[in-house]
Chain A
Amino acid sequence: MEMISKLGELLLGLVILFGSLISALSAFGLIRLPDVYLRSHAATKSATLGVLLILIGTFLYFMFYLEHSSAKLLLGIVFVFITAPVAGHLNGRAAYRSGVALWEETVQDDLKNALKKEQRK
């Protein structure tokens, strides 16, 4: 029993460590990637997963070791899960509409013609 409890604690610690590692890597991606759209890839996905892992680890730790199940953490998980992709989408859309250039090595751009057509109307 003692053994399992120690092991579980270690496991939850690893989950939280992993989440913070993913957050750090996505911050690294923000520095490294060349344009807004690619950066928002890193920001939406990896940062979301990092925050989620940290919150889940905290929730499980509180539930098993402090005997307190916190509904607020669960709500936080749900809200982050719902709002993060929408924020990424809106960032990209606002950037494109205000004319932020794509990276030079971008291969294909279907949206440009569609926008032009829309403006001509």
Chain B
Amino acid sequence: MALQILLNLIIAVVWMFLHNDWSFPRFTIGYLVGAVSIGLLSRFWPHDFYLKRVWAVIKLLILFVKELFISSFVVIGLIIRPKLSIRPGIVAYQTELQTDWEITVLSCLICLTPGTLTLDVSRDGRTLYIHAMDISDAEMLSQQIKSSFEKAIMEVTR
């Protein structure tokens, strides 16, 4: 992926050389030309086209912000209710993610989802211990949410 970005930058610079024009608009056009040609030649690369991955990163960021909003409203709703109707608990969750980066991103995402907080990650990085605010529906719901998170993270890294 880094190689493709580097190649794209080189194509943009070559484009500027060809026009003998060192301005930002020329660079942008060159970058677009490079992106299109790399995209068209993507079957010669061992990996996918890198802009696909950039798009996946943007989708992950949008998911992050959305979950942050939802989770704070859920927590505030629980706080200002006159009677505390919460059943907290700690759930073990098996993850399929492997590298440290993926697990870090996943645990940050979990910290910001409605009513869940990562308490501990086991030594081998296979199990996450999650403190859930409301365990009754959390098991089903969090499983579902986390499968969407895991999928979004995997789209970025693989």
Residues of A that sit less than 8 Å from B by CB: 22, 25-26, 28-29, 32-35, 37-38, 40-42, 44-46, 48-50, 52, 81-82, 85-86, 88-89, 92-93, 96, 102-103, 105-112, 114, 118
Contacts and interface: CB of A to CB of B under 8 A. Distances in A.
Contacts of B69: 49
B108 A41 contact: no
A105 B92 CA distance: 18
Contact of B91 (A49, A50, A86, A110): A110
Contacts of A86: 108, 111
B119 A89 contact: yes
Given A29-B76, A41-B117, A48-B68, A88 B111 contact: yes
- The DSSP consensus for interface residues of chain B is mixed
Contact of A105 (B64, B76, B87, B129): B87
A37 B117 contact: yes
A63 B117 CA distance: 35
B29 interface: no
Contacts of A108: 89-91, 135
Interface string B70-90: 011001100110001011111
A114 B129 contact: yes
Nearest to B79: A29
Nearest to B118: A89
User: Which of A45, A48, A49, A118 counts the most chain B CB atoms within 10 A?
Assistant: A45
B79 to A, nearest CB: 4
Contacts of A109: 89-90
A92 B131 CA distance: 9
